Amino acid sequence: MSANVGIPADILRNRPDVRIAERIYYANVAETGVAQAQLYPQLSLSGAITLASIASGASGAEYVFGPTLTLPALPNGARKAALIAQQSRARQAHTAWKSTVLDAIREVETAITDYSAAASAVHASQKTVRLYREAANLTRDLVLRDSATLSDLLDAEASITSAELTLAENQRQQSLGFINLNVSLGSGHASEHASGQNVAPVSY
């Protein structure tokens, strides 16, 4: 049973917690841009159609169409405060994203260490079982030659049983370690990281 760790960048993209923290950060960066845009004048095009009466008594349609310039109210303290608050939320989201990434890396490294230790224990247990079986075979030959007692053979068989139980427990720990490693790697989650979503960290 081998564990395919893969590329570290793909590992971080596959983990749902990292991807969620990343999206939250991107959303806060976008909201910061919206809040900053509220501080600047806005130019829009608008038009209207109204009915108007002329001197002869006939009525007709009057068209009005043109640009509209909207200026922020002065003083603009409320919008500046909203921008500062949003910038703070963006920084918090960025910190949370970095913290989530570091936690993910730590979990993967711990899972790899645990799995490697369990694999080594299984290998050692397999060797122990093999040696005890060889010893039991030798003891059986000695019993046939009256060079060992039946009690010696029973002790050798009991040692094999004990070693096999230890091997089974180590194999169970290795299986649990394999599962834990794949969970920490985010296995089973598609890596869908669009290139257009790469946003550089923003400094405020």
pLDDT in tens, 30-42: 999 988 887 776 6
Mean pLDDT of 106-120: 93
Q: What is the pLDDT of residue 195?
A: 38
Q: Is the pLDDT of residue 79 over 60?
A: yes
Choose between 63 and 35: higher pLDDT: 35
Rounded Cα distance between 4 and 16, Å, is: 19
Rounded Cα distance between 36 and 13, Å, is: 30
Rounded Cα distance between 134 and 171, Å, is: 22
Q: What is the pLDDT of residue 2?
A: 59
Mean pLDDT of 43-64: 57
Among 30-39, 46-55, 106-115, 182-191, the least confident range: 46-55
Q: Is the pLDDT of residue 197 over 50?
A: no
Q: Are the CB atoms for 182 and 141 separated by under 8 Å?
A: no
Q: Is the pLDDT of residue 10 over 80?
A: no
Q: Where are the domains of the chain?
A: 8-41+78-192
Q: What is the pLDDT of residue 64?
A: 58
CATH superfamily of 8-41+78-192: Outer membrane efflux proteins (OEP) (1.20.1600.10)
Q: Is the pLDDT of residue 202 over 50?
A: no
pLDDT single digits (tens) 166-195: 999 999 999 999 999 988 888 766 544 443
Q: What is the pLDDT of residue 124?
A: 97
Choose between 44 and 137: higher pLDDT: 137
Q: What is the pLDDT of residue 54?
A: 52
The chain-wide mean pLDDT, for the chain, equals: 81
* Residues β-bridged to residue 168: none
Mean pLDDT of 74-103: 88
193 class by beta-carbon count within 10 Å (0-12 exposed, 13-18 middle, 19+ buried): middle
Choose between 6 and 199: higher pLDDT: 6
